[in-house]
Structure 1
Amino acid sequence: MLKELKSDDVRLRKLVQRNLLFYLIPNVIANTIIPYFSFKKFDAVHLFQGENCVARFLLPMALLLPFIITFDILKKTIALSEEGKAGFVLPENFTKNKFMFKMAGANGVITSSVILVFMLLVQFSVPKDYSFNGDLLAILLGVLAGTLSVVFTLWPIKKVKELKAA
């Protein structure tokens, strides 16, 4: 995605690079450290039950992280486009607030729904009292947060750039 930005998109490229770091680093650190220190027993972590459950970290993260990152990067990209510094111009009939909320909401709801379905499939496929390794789950939560940060920084910019051609 970053390589697709042409030389006239220098400000947009710098915005993307800066925000990628701004979103990636704190999300990976926070979404690894908070669950790690919240798990009381690392060998008794469950998906949905008990005080050591992963769902209390994963489901809010899966909803809020895509929503907030999408909304923020769209707001910054659209503002840059309105100033004429993004390398593209949006259509005249473009309703930015509706577009930002619609895309951010869809990203949050779809991501959290997919993760919930995946968690339910895992829950039903493991034995009844099966527990997971808390260390590994904390690391996986951090990796997932980093992946979501990158995806939902680049995806909205791609969608906004496609609007100019429409």
Structure 2
Amino acid sequence: MLENLKSDDAVLKKLVQRNLPLYFIPNVIANTIIPYFSFKNLNAVHLFKGEYCIARFLLPMALLLPFIITFDILKKTIALSEDGKTGFVLPHNFTKNKFMFKMAGINGIGTSSVILVLMILLQFSIPKDYSFNGELLSVLLGLLAGTFSIVFTLWPIKKIKELKGI
């Protein structure tokens, strides 16, 4: 998706190249290490039950990470556009705060809703006392956080570029 930015979008490309590692690296590290050291028994991690279930880490991450990253990258992109550095101008009737909160909210609530539904479906499809490997889940949480960091950095830029035609 980064290569889809044209040469007149060099400022946006530079913004993405500068911010993507700042979102990706800390989120992968934190969302891998924190659950790993929080699970008391790495071989007895459950989805929803117990003091250190995976839902305590996954659901807040699925809500907050998309919201915060989307809001931050939109704020930076809109500021660059207002300074005339992006190669496109936003519409005159554009309400930036409403757009930023709406898109960040939709991304956060939508992502956490999808994750919650998938977790509930998984809960109903596994045996009653089934437990997961905490090490594997910690790594998967880190990878999911990295994926969220990439998607919710690039997607808002794509959406705001689509607004220039309005």
User: In the aligned structure 1, how far is the partner of 2:132 from the partner of 2:87?
Assistant: 48
Q: Name the residue aligned to 1:156.
A: 156
Does 2:84 correspond to 1:94? no
Number of aligned residues: 166
Amino acid at match of 1:128: K
Does 2:73 correspond to 1:73? yes
Contact 1:59 1:115 in 2 (8 A): yes
TM-score by length of structure 2 reads 0.98
Q: Name the residue aligned to 1:108.
A: 108
Does 2:16 correspond to 1:20? no
User: In the aligned structure 1, how far is the partner of 2:2 from the partner of 2:150?
Assistant: 11
Deviations 1:28-57 (CA, angstroms, capped at 9, x unpaired): 000000000000101100000002200000
Matches within 5 A, 1:3-152: 3-152=3-152
Q: Which runs of 5+ in 1 are unaligned?
A: none
Query: How much is the aligned-residue C-alpha RMSD, in angstroms?
Result: 0.6
User: In the aligned structure 1, how far is the partner of 2:102 from the partner of 2:27?
Assistant: 23
Identity %: 80
Amino acid at match of 2:32: T
Q: Which runs of 5+ in 2 are unaligned?
A: none
Contact 1:44 1:52 in 2 (8 A): no
TM-score by length of structure 1 reads 0.98
User: In the aligned structure 2, how far is the partner of 1:19 from the partner of 1:89?
Assistant: 22
Measured after TM superposition, the shift of residue 165 of structure 1 is 1.2
Contact 1:12 1:87 in 2 (8 A): no
User: In the aligned structure 1, how far is the partner of 2:163 from the partner of 2:81?
Assistant: 12
User: In the aligned structure 2, how far is the partner of 1:10 from the partner of 1:106?
Assistant: 28
Deviations 1:36-80 (CA, angstroms, capped at 9, x unpaired): 000010110000000220000000000000000000000000000
User: In the aligned structure 2, how far is the partner of 1:23 from the partner of 1:73?
Assistant: 10
User: In the aligned structure 1, how far is the partner of 2:7 from the partner of 2:164?
Assistant: 18
Deviations 1:106-154 (CA, angstroms, capped at 9, x unpaired): 0000000000000000101001100000000000000000000000000
